[in-house]
Structure 1
Amino acid sequence: MSASNPTLITFVIYIAAMVLIGFMAYRSTNNLSDYILGGRSLGSVVTALSAGASDMSGWLLMGLPGAIYMSGLSESWIAIGLIVGAYLNWLFVAGRLRVQTEHNGDALTLPDYFASRFEDKSGLLRIISAVVILVFFTIYCASGIVAGARLFESTFGMSYETALWAGAAATIAYTFVGGFLAVSWTDTVQATLMIFALLLTPIIVLLATGGVDTTFLAIEAQDPGNFDMLKNTTFIGIISLMGWGLGYFGQPHILARFMAADSVKSIANARRISMTWMILCLGGTVAVGFFGIAYFSAHPEVAGPVTENHERVFIELAKLLFNPWIAGVLLSAILAAVMSTLSCQLLVCSSALTEDFYKTFLRKSASQVELVWVGRAMVLLVALIAIALAANPDNRVLGLVSYAWAGFGAAFGPVVLISVIWKKMTRDGALAGILVGAITVIVWKHFELLGLYEIIPGFIFASLAIYFVSLMGQPSAGMVQRFEAAEKDFRLNK
């Protein structure tokens, strides 16, 4: 291996610590509720940082800095869209979803919530939503495994095939053993590591390139358009980047954090912590890519790896500018970003297979111990499929993430959002919303219509389908009664 010993040792210590947390969580995992939602016991700090870390995958330290490095500040519209979308999700969905899931059969998963909220006796709503989760999340998991493989490949000189397994192994281990608590506790550690890396790195790059004035002059000399937020953009392009914010309403791994909060009273404080963390991280990410333009233009002799693959800009800066021990910690932040999201996705897929297929249709009388072990087996199954999908070394992290993000945002976003604010929504409306959203994303992506990011038409068409189909029927008295009771509970305790 080409890596220096300090970097390798740092990685090993970090991975060992994450796996140890997994075994600590194992002791607190007694039933399926513990394994899937941690027994709804998360405080505001863990809820906030876990939601943030599960959201910001390897894309945060690889995909976005690479995009900024290549195109300048015009790519930062995506960060603005994400901040707005995340805030609105915390404001309108988080607290309401926490109480709605509790009032609707103490639902553990999104399909479980949909089935209870809309009294779907046929099982169709549960099956379709679980299938959407499995299809899009398996793609999303693959993106995380690609990011981890890129990290191990460039840091330790491994072949892509070896790096693929090395990057995924630790995440699979602690998710398999500890379930939701392991994922949430490790997310908190990983979120701390990520913000440390993203605040420290741009400061050191700035110092290495001669300070603010010198750095900005170098970036301008490279291309004055780097400062132009509208460079090479169109109205549709900006709307497409901002449209990423719509995805938050439908991401099962983020929504699960809201469902697992210890009470609705924790949500407001969690929102403040999470949004502060997110704004600082995204600001640091944009700065890393932007200042990297100046550094590599001044040092073309070391720019080869970044020229070959711009998603390596953070990795290369960490290796070039820091003591190997510090570089090891900073590069561990990429692994933290990858592991935090991948673990959440594996767990959501596992919960869909266990709670929404196995328990509901195959073994209704299964014991809690049996369900937990089925959940663990499903983690392994989904991980193996995702590794197979990630086997193509030409995969780009941002491309894989954008497709899966759009799929969830359009299929589930309108259903979740409208289900917690409109009591007249019906089961057929929910079904229409999921189908229209998912199909629109797939068709729009295939034909690349208008150059518009597929989440936007998907979200709009799904919302319209929910509204008009719901008007054709009437919710039952029980549905309305549960909705009103949950809304009252929310307003009294928020």
Structure 2
Amino acid sequence: MKSDMIWTLVAFAFYLAGMLLIGVAYMKKTKSSEDFFLGGRGLNGWVAALSAQASDMSGWMLMGLPGAVYAFGTGQIWIAVGLLIGTILNWAIVSGRLRRYTIRANNSMTLPKYLENRFEDKHKIMLLVSSVAIVIFFLVYTASALSAGGKLFNSIFGIDYKICLTIGAVVILGYTFMGGFMAVCVTDFVQGLLMLAGVVTIPIIAFFLVGAGNVMDNITASGVEAHHYLNIFNDEKGQTLSAIDIISKLGWALGYFGMPHILVRFMAISSEKEVKKSKVIGCVWCAISLCFACFIAIVGRAYLVPALANNKSENVFIEMIQKVFNSDIGLPFVGGIFLCGILAAIMSTADSQLLVTASSVSEDIYHSCIAPKAESKKVLLVSRITVLAVAVVAYIIALDPNSSIMGLVSNAWAGLGASFGPIILMSLYWRRTNLAGAAAGVASGALSVIIWDYIPLAGGQTLGDKTGLYSLVVGFAVSLILIIIVSLCTKKPSEEMLKAFDDVKNGVNCGCDEKA
């Protein structure tokens, strides 16, 4: 084995061991299902912010997004613009009010439980519909993260993809299984810092190695026309992007309002003061990370000549790190640490998705519907078993080495965003929303995405392929419209439900240390 490879392997071993030690440390502190799922609502501002953003961005930020920009030009940057808008709006209008409402709604620990309590659902309709949607779409989302991990190890060490996939899955499963929410959040905090360091440092070093005066010529030498490639209104062929293309990319913003693994961080923040701190930290982290993720692709196009094949474009960041630290600078251990930043991005999302899916099955289905009298320790055991089961299924989905990270994330993001985004917003801001409207919104959002993306209704093509319009935009609109129509056509919310809404709006009886 080459010395460069040995140093990289040492860096990975230290990093993975550290993540497992955090899981062991928090296993001793995890004694109830509330500890396992919300960490006792004890997150401080820094941990909440970086944990939320790290779990949000995942391996697609350092592999999928740079890969798309690298292969298809800076017209793909509109996705990053949409994501930044969504992040800012989510922290600004959802985080504080959702935290208050989940406390007011009988101290809800999961998103489905919040919807059940918020709408006084005695028949557990919302619980079951929401839990099913989470399990379906999070299996795909978790598979995307595991796939990214497999590709990372395969690219660096040349080991068989399936073996690499197994290594990554075992480590992620290990600390999530042991430590629950706090282990996930603390590891995500560490991983968020590591991701930020890598995404900023590497493209800057590579840029200076290329030389500012050589960037345009090198991009052209890589096989694309530099001026077309760098025009955010063009596709990779120099054609002007259509309005539908730009709307679809900006539409990624809508997904944020419905991402359970992000929303659960808002629910777990310790106080209103910490929420305000988290908003600033989270938005600044996101802005810097997304800008530099796109910068990675542009610099990579100039730095990596000859260019990577399109089917290898998602490895652009990996290739840059290895060339910078192994070939140009000669610090392979440092390069290994930065490669761990990509692994951090992958792990920080996969662990959160495992935890949220487990909570939907164990807390929302098992504890609420099957065994409501089960002791907390038994629910905790079921939670850990569920984490294991979900990881196995996601692992099976991820076994195909040709699956696209960006494609898997896109489908899952659309499904979750359309299912939960509209009802989260309406539950927080529209007093008239009722149970019937909520159920119609979640079900129609999920079904719209499935129909749009997976059923060939247009001459053998799906509607998504035929129109080019992102399914999230369609599903979100359908869900929002049905929530309004069905709510207005059915019984008004009860006086107790209206009082709870007003309490949250006014900062009364909802765990506030100050008014909203």
TM-score range, shorter chain: over 0.9
1:477 to 2:495 alignment = yes
Number of equivalenced pairs:
488
Aligned to 2:140: 139
Report the Cα distance in structure 1 between the residues aligned to 2:310 and 2:38, rounded to whole angstroms.
43
1:412 to 2:415 alignment = no
1:455 to 2:472 alignment = yes
Name the SS of the counterpart of 2:42 in structure 1: coil
- 1:180 maps to amino acid: F
Paired residue for 2:313, among 285, 310, 323? 310
**C-alpha displacement of 1:265:** 2.4
Report the Cα distance in structure 1 between the residues aligned to 2:426 and 2:220, rounded to whole angstroms.
46
Report the Cα distance in structure 1 between the residues aligned to 2:482 and 2:365, rounded to whole angstroms.
26
Which has the higher mean CA deviation after the structures are superposed, 354-363 or 379-388?
A: 354-363
Aligned to 2:458: none
**C-alpha displacement of 1:483:** 1.0
Q: Is the 8 A contact 2:82 2:249 kept in 1?
A: yes
Report the Cα distance in structure 2 between the residues aligned to 1:88 and 1:197, rounded to whole angstroms.
26
Aligned to 2:515: 493
What is the alpha-carbon root mean square deviation over aligned residues?
A: 1.3
TM-score scaled by length of structure 1: 0.97
Aligned to 2:328: none
Report the Cα distance in structure 2 between the residues aligned to 1:225 and 1:6, rounded to whole angstroms.
40
Aligned to 1:293: 301
Deviations 1:172-196 (A, max 9, x none): 0000000000000000000000000
- 1:346 maps to amino acid: L
Aligned to 1:391: 399
Task: Could you list the structure 1 runs, at least 4 aligned residues long, displaced by more than 4 angstroms after superposition.
Answer: none
**C-alpha displacement of 1:488:** 1.0
Q: Is the 8 A contact 2:304 2:320 kept in 1?
A: no
**1:27-66 mapped onto 2 (5 Å cutoff):** 27-66=28-67
**1:297-376 mapped onto 2 (5 Å cutoff):** 297=305, 300=306, 303=307, 307-322=310-325, 323-376=331-384
Report the Cα distance in structure 2 between the residues aligned to 1:384 and 1:440, rounded to whole angstroms.
28
**1:425-444 mapped onto 2 (5 Å cutoff):** 425-444=433-452
Name the SS of the counterpart of 2:501 in structure 1: helix
Uncovered stretches (5+) of structure 1, i.e. residues with no partner:
none
1:260 to 2:282 alignment = no
Report the Cα distance in structure 1 between the residues aligned to 2:43 and 2:50, rounded to whole angstroms.
11
Q: Is the 8 A contact 2:71 2:310 kept in 1?
A: no
Report the Cα distance in structure 1 between the residues aligned to 2:234 and 2:259, rounded to whole angstroms.
30
**C-alpha displacement of 1:213:** 2.8
**C-alpha displacement of 1:216:** 3.3
**C-alpha displacement of 1:307:** 5.0
- 1:487 maps to amino acid: K
Aligned to 2:216: 216
Q: Is the 8 A contact 1:109 1:352 kept in 2?
A: yes
Report the Cα distance in structure 2 between the residues aligned to 1:435 and 1:375, rounded to whole angstroms.
25
Name the SS of the counterpart of 2:470 in structure 1: coil
Report the Cα distance in structure 2 between the residues aligned to 1:17 and 1:76, rounded to whole angstroms.
34
Name the SS of the counterpart of 1:262 in structure 2: coil
**C-alpha displacement of 1:360:** 1.1
Which has the higher mean CA deviation after the structures are superposed, 458-467 or 1-10?
A: 1-10
**C-alpha displacement of 1:264:** 2.3
Report the Cα distance in structure 2 between the residues aligned to 1:72 and 1:206, rounded to whole angstroms.
18
**C-alpha displacement of 1:227:** 1.2
Report the Cα distance in structure 2 between the residues aligned to 1:88 and 1:332, rounded to whole angstroms.
30
Which has the higher mean CA deviation after the structures are superposed, 408-417 or 220-229?
A: 220-229
**C-alpha displacement of 1:71:** 1.8
Paired residue for 1:466, among 483, 488, 498? 483
Aligned to 2:128: 127
Aligned to 2:238: none
Name the SS of the counterpart of 2:49 in structure 1: helix
1:148 to 2:149 alignment = yes
Report the Cα distance in structure 2 between the residues aligned to 1:172 and 1:244, rounded to whole angstroms.
28
Paired residue for 1:421, among 429, 433, 442? 429
Report the Cα distance in structure 2 between the residues aligned to 1:344 and 1:307, rounded to whole angstroms.
30
Report the Cα distance in structure 2 between the residues aligned to 1:220 and 1:69, rounded to whole angstroms.
13
Q: Is the 8 A contact 2:60 2:406 kept in 1?
A: yes
